[in-house]
């Protein structure tokens, strides 16, 4: 092997070995998510046991606080009895998770779900679940597809920062260069905020601020407390607080509540800045959306009636 070819091969080996072995699971459009939701077997007989497997993972850009993530498992009636699905105790259920009112509810502490840090190659917190069941008895030889739903509900906030540059009347007349809005910087989360419209704001005038609120997480936001079955009239709502250089803006509605329809909502705000003698002045507009977020995944298993005694 000549020296030139050896040098090329050495460079390739070094470049490959320098690459990270795996990427950090980070999602700009999510907070806590369900991953790998499945049963250990796609089909079982009704005299066998089966295990529902899933992970709760923080893939968003911030810590989940205020009590952590609520977990709900439902679908068929889950309680002890031949005609229902029975949650079994055991090593896979060390925390003593139990069913109540026909479904399972438990919680993952925020301490166990720190956010990922892609810059350091650190993944977010992960809590694995293995729930063992004894299926309901069905007619011999009959195959019954049974769908299980697993939902998460957790508190979250989305923070955005937008810079708005205001031009004085003298500067505008002299240069003809209008004021401008810079790009909105969104923190990762299932709800996104962005300021709409162009510039053309003159010093001494009212600053219009129109926010587009977008649901990008695949679930829905709510201002209600978390629960397994939330009423339709409390779904798709967030609360948005807006400030300019630390001073509260005037918004409509006054409480900052935004109804999201077909994935999008709008909040109208205004701010009257103090007079400035500078030709240009840049204001820092901060918006914070507060909400609980609810997301659901599903897995199906086929329950077969056993003819064995």
Supply the pLDDT for residue 191.
95
Q: What is the average per-residue pLDDT within 226-240? A: 95
The per-residue pLDDT for range 41-77, each reduced to its tens digit, is 999 999 999 999 999 999 988 888 878 999 999 999 9
Give percent above pLDDT 70 in the chain: 84
249 three-state secondary structure: coil
Q: How far apart are the first and last CA of the chain?
A: 72
Q: Residue 11 in contact with residue 17, Cβ under 8 Å?
A: no
**Which CATH number applies to 24-155+295-304: 2.60.40.10, 3.40.50.2300, 1.10.287.1260, 3.30.1360.70?**
2.60.40.10
Q: List residues bridging with 248 in a β-sheet.
A: 243
What pLDDT, in 10s, does the model give residues 97-117? 878 889 999 999 999 999 998
Pairing assessment for the beta strands 32-39 and 50-58 based on DSSP bridges: antiparallel
Write down the mean pLDDT value for the chain: 84
- The pLDDT of residue 182 is 65
The whole-number pLDDT of residue 198 equals 60
Q: Give the pLDDT band (50/70/90) at residue 6.
A: very low
Backbone φ and ψ for 234, nearest 5 degrees, come out as -105, 0
- Report if pTM > 0.75: yes
Q: What is the pLDDT of residues 174-232, one digit of tens each?
A: 887 766 666 677 778 999 998 886 655 656 678 888 999 999 999 999 999 999 999 99
């Amino acid at each position: 092997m000549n020296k030139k070819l050896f040098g090329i091969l050495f460079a390739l080996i070094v470049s490959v070995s320098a690459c990270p072995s795996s990427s950090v699971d980070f999602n700009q459009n999510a907070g806590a998510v369900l991953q790998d939701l499945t049963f250990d077997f796609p089909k079982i007989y009704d005299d066998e046991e089966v295990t529902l497997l899933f992970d709760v993972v923080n893939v968003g850009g911030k810590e989940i606080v205020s009590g952590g993530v609520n977990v709900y498992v439902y679908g068929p009636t889950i309680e002890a009895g031949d005609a229902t699905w029975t949650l079994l105790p055991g090593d896979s259920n060390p925390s003593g998770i139990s069913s109540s009112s026909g479904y399972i509810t438990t919680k993952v502490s925020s301490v166990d779900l720190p956010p990922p840090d892609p810059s350091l190659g650190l993944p977010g917190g992960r809590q694995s679940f293995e729930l063992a069941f004894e299926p309901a008895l069905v007619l011999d030889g009959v195959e019954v597809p049974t769908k299980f739903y697993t939902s998460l509900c957790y508190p979250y906030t989305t923070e955005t920062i937008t810079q708005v540059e205001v031009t004085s009347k003298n500067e505008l007349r002299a240069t003809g260069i209008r004021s401008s809005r810079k790009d909105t910087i969104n923190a990762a989360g299932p709800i996104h905020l962005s300021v709409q419209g162009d510039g053309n704001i003159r010093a001494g005038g009212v600053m219009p601020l129109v926010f587009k609120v977008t649901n990008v997480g695949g679930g829905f936001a709510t201002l209600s407390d978390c629960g397994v079955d939330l009423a339709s009239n409390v779904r798709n709502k967030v609360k948005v607080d807006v400030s300019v250089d630390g001073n509260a803006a005037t918004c409509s509605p006054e409480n900052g509540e935004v109804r999201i329809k077909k994935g999008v909502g709008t909040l109208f705000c205004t701010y009257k800045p103090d007079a400035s003698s500078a030709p240009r002045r840049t204001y820092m507009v901060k918006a914070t959306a507060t909400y609980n977020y609810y997301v659901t995944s599903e897995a199906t298993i086929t329950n077969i009636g056993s003819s064995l005694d």
